[in-house]
Structure 1
C-alpha cells in the first residue's frame, strides 16, 4: 500500500503544480521518478521492488501499451504525404545508426564484448512514446515535428524486439530463435490491432445496435483491453497491436471515438506517472555503482551524440525544416521501452546482464531529467516563432 499512498500524494502534487510546469522547466515526470526513489531502497526502503520481479515489467508494459494506443489514434490523421518522410527516415536510417554508434561507444569504453555492446545499442536505440508525449502534446509544436516523433516512437519499439531476442539468445549460448517466428509475432501483433479495429467498425454499422452517447468513449477502451490480453495470450507483439489498433480505430470507426481522446490522454498520463514511480523505486545506489566508469560516458553520449548525430544524418536532403530537424534530433528520450528490454536481459540471466541493465537505467534517468525539463522550452520557442511569423508582413521574415 506504500506505493498507492506515494502515488496518490505525488499525483496531488503534480496536479497542484501542473500550471506552473506548463510554463516553466519544472518536470512532472521527474516528481514521480524522485518519489519512487525516495520510497524505494535508494531512499527510505518503504517498498521492495526487484528488477527480477514482475511488478516493474508489468507496469511498464501496460503503460507502453496505453500510450501507444492513444498516440496511434493520431498517427494516420495527416493526409499530406510529405509528413511521412521524416519518421520513415528516422526509423530506417536514424535508428540503425543510433544503435551502431552506441555499440561502438560501449565496445570501446567498457569491458562489454561486441555482442553485449550491440545488445546495449539496440536496447537504447528506440525512443520512448511515454516521454515523447511530453513534447508531442504541447501547444505550439509544429504538426510535422509532432507527427514525426509520434510515429517514430510508436513503431521503433517493435522493430528493436527481434534483435533484442536474438542477441539475448546468442549471449546465452542457446539456439538462435527462428527469425520467421519473431517476424510472425510482429506481423501478428499488427494484424491483431487491425482486426480489433475492424470488429469495432463493423459492429458500429449494425442497425440493431445502438450505442449510448455516454458510453461511446468506452468502445476504444474495450478494443484496447481485448487486444492487450489477446496479444499476450497468443505471444504476439502487444506494442504494434496497440499502435495499429489505435490508428485503425480512429480511421475506420471515428464515430466511436467521440469523447475518448480526453479519457485516453488521462489514462495514458496516469500510467506514465505510475510507471515512472515504480521505476524510481527500482533504482538504488548499488545499481548505479555497477555502472563502469566508461558506462557513464556511454550513457551521456547516447543522449548527446548518438541520437542527435544519427537523426541529423538521416534528415540530410529532406524538406524537413531546420529547426524541426534539430528538435527531432534532440527529442529521442530513452524510457520504459528500454527498461522493459533491459528487464528481459536481467531475467534471461545472460553474461553482462547487470552491467547492461545498469547502463540502461542510468541512461533512462538522465533522459528523464534532460528531456522532461526541456520540452516546454522547445515548445515555447516554436510558439514564439509562430507569433513572429504571424506578425511579419508579406514577404518579410521575422528577425
Structure 2
C-alpha cells in the first residue's frame, strides 16, 4: 500500500510539472489518472478492496464539494437573460437527451423494462467540462462558446441527479424490491433534499454577507465556512431522508445567488483543491472499477455508449438550439463536446446498491466504460477540433454569432 501511494504521489508531482505542456496536447488529466489507476490495479501495486472503500469516501466528498461549488458560481438571472445557449441546452437539451437516449436504449435492451432504459439514458446525460479542458481553456474558441460549455456542465449534473434517483426508485419498484418503501424513500429524497439545501444555502448566504459587511471574517476563513455549509446541507438532508447531494447542489445555488460573486474562494478552490479531488476520484475509479468494467465491455455496451456520444447528445443539442443564433457548426461543436465524466461514474456508484444487483452491476460497468471511452475520444479530439472550429468561426461562419453576442462579464455570478 505504501509503495503504491508513493508511486501515486510521484505521478501527481510529475503531472503538475508538465501540466501546462500537457494542456496543449491530447493527454488530459482525467485520462492520465484513469490510466494510471488501471495500470496500478493490473500490476497489483495497490489492494483493490481497500481502493473500493476509499473510492466511496472520496467520491462522496468530491461530489458534495463540486456540486456545491459549481452551483455557487451560477447566477440564475444572468443565465436566463444573457446566456441563451446554455440555458436552452439545460432546459431543453438535457430532457431531450434523456428522452432520445431512452428510445435508443429501449431498442438495444429489449429484455429490460423501459424504466431501466430511461435510467441508462439519465446516467449518460450529464457532462463534465474537465474531460474537455483543452476546449474550455482554448483561446481559439470564442469566449461565448467556452462559457456556454462551462455553464452547461456545471449545472447539468445537479439537474440530472433527481431524475436518476427517481428512475432508480422506479426501477427498484419494477424489480419488486420493497417497492412501496423505495417509492416513499425516493419521494422524500426529491422533496426534503432541495428544501434543506435552499434553507441552509439561503440563510448561510445572508449570514455570510452580514459577517463580511461587519468585517467579522476574512477571505482566507470564509472559504472554510462555505465548505462547512456544503457538508451541513448534505448531513442535514440525510437526517430526514432527503438526498444530501441534491441538498448540497441547491445550497450552493442559493448561496451563490445571495452572495453574488463576493466569495473569491469558490473560484480559487475549484481551480486548485477541487482539481485534486477530481484527480483522486478518477485515479480510484481507474484502480477499483475500471478493470472489471473493461472485462465486461461487449458489443452491446459499446453500441449504447457510442450511440450516446455520437447520436443522442448531438441530436438533443441541435434540437434545443433551434431558433437561436447558433450557427450549424456551433451546434455540432456543442453536440460533440459533452464528455461523460465524474458525474456519470459517481451517480452510477451511488445507485448500484439501491436496485437489483445484476442490473446495478451492469449499469455501473456501462457508466465506467462510458467515462474512459469518452475521456479518450474527447481528449484526443479536443485540441485539433478546437483549433479547426476556432479558425472556421473566425471567418464568415462566425459573423452572425459575433454580431448577436451579448456583452460578456468577468464571471457569471455578476449582475
What's the TM-score once normalised by structure 2's chain length?
0.80
More moved, 299-308 vs 72-81: 72-81
Q: How does 1:293-304 map to 2 (within 5 A)?
A: 293-304=299-310
Q: Which runs of 5+ in 2 are unaligned?
A: 404-415
Which position in structure 1 is the counterpart of 2:406?
Answer: none
1:373 is the counterpart of 2:380? yes
Q: 1:254 to 1:341 in 2, by over 3 A?
A: closer
More moved, 339-348 vs 28-37: 339-348
Superposition CA RMSD, Å: 3.4
Which position in structure 2 is the counterpart of 1:203?
Answer: 211
1:51/1:343 contact within 8 Å kept:
no
Structure 2: distance between partners of 1:141 and 1:189 = 39
Paired positions, count: 388
2:127/2:338 contact within 8 Å kept:
yes
Alpha-carbon displacement from aligned partner over 1:218-238 (angstroms, at most 9, x marks no partner): 443443344344444444444
Which position in structure 2 is the counterpart of 1:312?
Answer: 318
Alpha-carbon displacement from aligned partner over 1:153-173 (angstroms, at most 9, x marks no partner): 323333423333323322431
Match of 2:289 among 280, 283, 286: 283
1:340 is the counterpart of 2:343? no
Structure 1: distance between partners of 2:137 and 2:70 = 10
Structure 2: distance between partners of 1:102 and 1:163 = 16
Q: 1:189 to 1:120 in 2, by over 3 A?
A: farther
Structure 2: distance between partners of 1:140 and 1:239 = 35
Q: 1:25 to 1:50 in 2, by over 3 A?
A: same
SS at match of 2:283: helix
Alpha-carbon displacement from aligned partner over 1:202-227 (angstroms, at most 9, x marks no partner): 3323x3x5324554544434433443
Shift of residue 372 of structure 1?
3.1
1:158 is the counterpart of 2:157? no
SS at match of 2:73: helix
Match of 1:224 among 222, 230, 233: 230
Alpha-carbon displacement from aligned partner over 1:124-165 (angstroms, at most 9, x marks no partner): 122236546664455454444344333433233334233333
Structure 2: distance between partners of 1:75 and 1:140 = 24
1:186/1:236 contact within 8 Å kept:
yes
Which position in structure 2 is the counterpart of 1:35?
Answer: 36
Match of 1:170 among 173, 196, 201: 173
Which position in structure 1 is the counterpart of 2:63?
Answer: 64
Shift of residue 270 of structure 1?
0.5
What's the TM-score once normalised by structure 1's chain length?
0.83
Q: Which runs of 5+ in 1 are unaligned?
A: none
SS at match of 1:352: helix
Structure 2: distance between partners of 1:286 and 1:183 = 32
Structure 1: distance between partners of 2:164 and 2:7 = 33
1:99 is the counterpart of 2:107? no
1:60/1:275 contact within 8 Å kept:
yes
Which position in structure 1 is the counterpart of 2:412?
Answer: none
Alpha-carbon displacement from aligned partner over 1:32-91 (angstroms, at most 9, x marks no partner): 011100112xx1122233599543233222223333333334321883745343333223
SS at match of 2:48: coil
Which position in structure 2 is the counterpart of 1:188?
Answer: 195
Structure 2: distance between partners of 1:340 and 1:35 = 19
SS at match of 1:373: helix
More moved, 125-134 vs 360-369: 125-134
Which position in structure 2 is the counterpart of 1:18?
Answer: 19
Shift of residue 310 of structure 1?
1.3
